[in-house]
Amino acid sequence: MKKKISFSGKGNRADIGDIAIHRILPNRYANAVGPFVFLDHMGPQMLTKKMKAGTGAHPHRGIATLTYILSGEGEHYDSAGNHAKVRSGGIQWMKAGSGIIHDETANPDSQTANPYLHGFQFWINLPSKIKTEKPEYMDIQAAKVPLKQLPDDSGWLKVIVGSYEDLKSGIPNYSEQFLYHIHLEPDKRVSVSFTEKTEVAAFLPAQNAKINDAEYLAGEFVEFDRNEGEIEIKNTSKDVLDILLFGGEHYDEPIVAMGPFVMNTEHEISQAYNDFYKGKYGTINYKNKS
Q: Which of 89, 51, 58, 63 is nearest to 76 (CA)?
A: 58
What CATH number should be reported for the domain holding residue 97? 2.60.120.10
pTM for the full model?
0.95
283, part of any domain: no
DSSP annotation of 3: P
CA–CA separation, 205 and 140 (whole Å): 22
State which residues of the chain have pLDDT below 70. Answer: 52, 288-290
In the chain, the number of structural domains is 1
Classify strands 229-234 and 189-194 as parallel, antiparallel or unpaired: antiparallel
Query: pLDDT at position 289, please?
Result: 58
Query: pLDDT at position 287, please?
Result: 76
282, part of any domain: no
Q: Strands across the sheet with 73-78, in order?
A: 58-60, 100-107, 73-78, 83-87
Query: pLDDT at position 17, please?
Result: 85
Boundaries of domain holding 122: 5-277
